[in-house]
Amino acid sequence: MKFYYCKMWQQTWNTPYRKDDVEGGARPLYPAMLENPQLRWGFIRKVYSILSLQLLITIAVGAVVVTVHPIAHFFVSTGAGLALYILLIIAPFITLSPLYYYHQKHPVNFLLLGLFTVTLAFAVGLTCAFTSGKVILESVILTAAVVLSLTIYTFWAARRGHDFNFLGPFLFGALMVLMLFAFIQLLFPLGRLSVMIYGCLASILFCAYIIYDTDSLIKRYTYDEYIWAAVGLYLDVINLFLSILTIFRAAE
């Protein structure tokens, strides 16, 4: 598949862009688009297919952890369970390093992606295990609505020539501040109000990340980076869900 995309990419640059490509149904995603729109649309469909599979796995694993109560109680009531819980939280971050290195090597990239998704889904399930079903449902619905709206908006804005690449440095700086704030919150809990403020700031940040990563999906990712593009969007969606969940839990 990697060599197929490379050949198609080479063919794209050797073939002039024609008006009948647009009339055939493959419309340019943004003004002054030099590549063949059909290849970019195929890449986008592949990324969203992988992302959809990741979210389905997350929902399935999370539902098992939430509904089967002995699983959650084992992790919080025993020393071995607590150690395993900490390992599950760290495991996705450990997996990211080899996943970034092998994200263009099939089938290792899919194996690492599956491991990353399952471990993170288990951690999300444990987070939701001691939350009411009403709060979880409200968070899921709101997250789905926000992600869909921001995705449609980004495609619409890209078609009209807007570019969001400038957000990169600001988002990185805001993410560092948010992580520092979370670390301080762990050491010196400031109460329910500070938790709600943290959740609101995190929600705004990851909404911006969804726009930024979707814009990169449209314009900047190469065809061999479908795994890493899916990972970026998946992390945005999961973090947005957890941020909204934090707000509802603090309000409840």
Those residues whose C-beta lies under 8 Å from the C-beta of residue 30, and which sit 6 or more positions away, are 158, 159, 161, 218, 219
Domain count, the chain: 1
Q: Which pLDDT belongs to residue 230? A: 95
Q: Which pLDDT belongs to residue 26? A: 63
Q: Is residue 19 part of a domain?
A: no
What is the 3-state secondary structure of 30-84? CCCCCCCHHHHHHHHHHHHHHHHHHHHHHHHHHHHHHHCHHHHHHHHHCHHHHHH
Q: Is residue 23 part of a domain?
A: no
Q: Is residue 40 part of a domain?
A: yes
Q: Is residue 185 part of a domain?
A: yes
Give the model's confidence band at 35: pLDDT under 50 very low, under 70 low, under 90 confident, else very high: confident
Q: Is residue 29 part of a domain?
A: no
Q: Are 146 and 247 in contact (CB under 8 A)?
A: no
pLDDT digits (tens, 9 = 90+) for 147-191: 999 999 999 999 998 989 999 899 999 999 988 888 887 777 777
Domain region containing 45: 2-14+36-251
pLDDT digits (tens, 9 = 90+) for 97-116: 888 888 888 888 899 999 99
Q: Is residue 21 part of a domain?
A: no
pLDDT digits (tens, 9 = 90+) for 125-140: 888 888 888 899 999 9
Q: Are 165 and 220 in contact (CB under 8 A)?
A: yes
Q: Which pLDDT belongs to residue 100? A: 85
Q: Which pLDDT belongs to residue 75? A: 74
Q: Which pLDDT belongs to residue 126? A: 87
Q: Is residue 22 part of a domain?
A: no
Q: Is residue 30 part of a domain?
A: no
- pLDDT above 70 covers a percentage of the chain that reads 88
